[in-house]
Amino acid sequence: MTEQPPDSTSLTPEEWDAVRRLRERAGHAGPSAPAAATAEPHEPAAAAPEPAATAEPLAPVAATPPPEQTAVPVQEDPAATVAEPPSWGGSRRPTREGPSMAVPALAALVVVAIVAAVIATLLSLRVSHNHEKNQAATAALSAATSGVASVLSYNYKSLDHDFATAEALLTPSFRKSYEATTAKTVQPLAAKYKAVSTAQVSAAGIIASTTSAAKVLVFVSQQVTNTQLSAPRLDRSRIVVDLVHTHGQWLIDKLTPV
């Protein structure tokens, strides 16, 4: 009688392998096995392994994965690992972007530095110009104050010296008119009446000024004595003084009473 295998749809390959081994062991158990098969010709062949299953418990069989399912380690290419370094997040930038971005930044820094230098130069020039202008105004104010006092002061005992001192403070053009006035009127009358004039500037202020020209308003107090006066006479006046800067000094170019 030929043995019929169990239904393959109800047993797994592991279970079928265990049944097959049990059957093989039952076939070598003794002479009683064939007799049992002859005495019961109509008994299904599948019932024969049952006594052997009672005599020896079925040992669990470890499930072995099919050979085709075994994971095979993949060898990585060292050259590929070196050529492609790991990314630390985000997309990698091409290595050429660094220099290309640094050039505009450097150019911008150069432009900023040039602009800053130009501004600093302009500010320095402006400060220097303002400083020179202030110095010129101060010098012109001092020249007007002392010059007017010298021009309007004289003593009949020292007319030539006083007039020469005043002429040194005048421009060549204004000196000519001053000499003409003193020679015709001041000198003859001062010598005849023993005149003495003492002028002092009580106040002065800049009207306009540059480094080469200035206009100053002065307030003058002039005290006059002579033989025609019973007492000294005090005259107060306002005079606009025009000055020019020439040969390193401020000279009076014009006197205008106001």
pLDDT digits (tens, 9 = 90+) for 25-59: 776 554 444 433 343 444 444 444 444 444 444 44
Please report the pLDDT score of residue 109 as a whole number.
80
Please report the pLDDT score of residue 28 as a whole number.
54
Most confident of 4-18, 52-66, 79-93: 4-18
Please report the pLDDT score of residue 243 as a whole number.
97
Rounded to the nearest 5 degrees, what angle is found at the Cα of 20, between the Cα atoms of 15 and 26? 125
Token output for 180: 């003409």
Q: How confident is the model at residue 162 (pLDDT cuts 50, 70, 90)?
A: very high
Least confident of 117-126, 162-171, 247-256: 117-126
Please report the pLDDT score of residue 91 as a whole number.
53
pTM over 0.85: no
What is the secondary structure of 4-23 as a DSSP string? PPPPTTTS-HHHHHHHHHHH
Residue 214 has pLDDT above 70, yes or no: yes
Please report the pLDDT score of residue 67 as a whole number.
52
Please report the pLDDT score of residue 107 as a whole number.
79
Please report the pLDDT score of residue 95 as a whole number.
55
84-94: per-residue pLDDT in tens?
555 555 555 55
- Nearest of 45, 52, 38 to residue 4 by alpha carbon: 45
pLDDT > 90 in the chain, percent = 48
> Going from the N-terminus, what domains does the chain have, and what CATH number goes with each?
13-59 (no CATH), 128-257 (3.10.450.230)
Token output for 165: 């001192």
Interatomic CA distance for residues 232 and 130, integer angstroms: 45
Place of tokens 């001192």: 165
Ranges of beta strands (E only) in the chain are 154-155, 196-209, 213-225, 233-246, 249-257
* Residue 241 · residue 208 · CB < 8 Å: no
Q: What is the average per-residue pLDDT within 199-217?
A: 95
